[in-house]
Amino acid sequence: MTPKYNPYENMLNILDRAAAKLGLPYNDYVALRFPERELIVSVPVEMDDGHKEVFMGYRVQHSSSRGPCKGGIRYHPDVDLDEVKALAAWMTWKCAVVNIPYGGAKGAVKCDPAKMSETELRKMTRRYTAMILPIIGPEQDIPAPDVNTNAQVMAWIMDTYSMFKGYAVPAVVTGKPLDIGGSLGRKEATGRGVMFTVLNLLGKKGLDKNKLTAAVQGFGNVGSVSAKLLKEQGLRIVAVSDASCAIYKKDGLNVEKAIEYVDDRKVLKGYEEDGLMEISNRELLTLDVDLLVPAALENQITKEIAEEVKAKYIVEGANGPTTNEADEILHRRSIILVPDILANAGGVVVSYFEWVQNEQSFMWDEEYINNNLDKVMKRAFEEVWEIHSKHKVTLRMAAYMVALDRVARAKKLRGVFP
């Protein structure tokens, strides 16, 4: 029987390898192999029909060495503690690689939001917030949206926390609606960060963006924004997909029209354009394109698919879309991959901007936010590329080396209490 994939073990494997490349003594990073705090809570909810349901909730804080913990909350029926631990650790590395003063955290509730009413989701969110309230706060741990959560869920969390405190605390979460302290540019930030990363990569390779084709797997917030912005930059987007289907058009898709359709119908299935054909998810991942942007779920590029990938460049919009075995195959085949902890960090960067605005009680304009995001993403890319070139390692390993070096130095400077 095949052993169950454990994402936290996968994270530890990369962590140990990065430490070895840095020549980091085990003593200097051993504490980072363990989350600082793991909280498991039960979340009882009275459902619409009157019966009570108890959901399992989690909040894991991996590291606060460089600042308050930061990380999203996901609602998903298959979530478990190991997944949340891994996601929290990845947030530590993501914040460190773009050099913002946060550590990593993640939260989740094991539920199927598609089968719940808005009233049930609101009750569950408020009770979950009350259960994790002792360990969250603007100076402690700042949640944000993730899979199956959104600005409305953040509004409920912010309100619940504020009711307990007795005054409004907008900085307790990021990814909020604008009317209660959200930031301009936050919704598009992850996809915009992917676009900036693609442009930084093309600059290093001396490629003309107007002559390149791209396929984007996933057409949610990250995938759709990435596709739209890349098209605006001159790339030809020939394929996109969501959970319902994948579509291909050799001459390039009308991405804006597809986004309007999905906004209205909630799925890509049924969308039509002249010359468009429906393809499989595997066909999308193995299309003969210059650039592939996996922006859907984890473990999409497997070792079998990695052998068939024809794209020369991969920029990860999703968290963990490439398996370890696939990574090795892509490296052997000289396919350049920009890892998730760098490529999709735009969301947490603008979350940081939102938090700073809340703490200052001052709102920045969107141009200022986007320009600063561009600067942060460019600086981080340059630092990772330098390690990649100097140590002859993959960009994923280079990103982990940059991140681990920063967190380990902070840990060493602070020492072990007591």
Could you give the residue numbers annotated as active site?
Answer: 106
Q: Give the span between the Cα atoms of 137 and 173, in whole angstroms.
A: 8
Q: Check residue 36 and report its DSSP letter.
A: S
d(C-alpha 66, C-alpha 69), whole Å: 9
Strand order in the sheet with 246-248: 277-279, 246-248, 236-241, 213-217, 291-294, 313-315, 336-338
Coil vs helix vs strand at 254: coil
Tokens of 164: 């307990």
Amino acid symbol at 21: K
The distance between the two most distant Cα atoms of the chain, rounded to a whole number of Å, is 68
Tokens of 302: 């497997």
CA 398-299-99 angle, to 5 degrees, is 35
**In whole angstroms, what is the distance from residue 384 CA to residue 194 CA?**
15
From the CA atom positions of the chain, what is the Rg in Å? Answer: 21
The residues near 398 (Cβ < 8 Å, ≥ 6 apart) are: 384, 385, 387, 388, 391
Nearest by Cα to 68 from 174, 153, 151, 154: 174
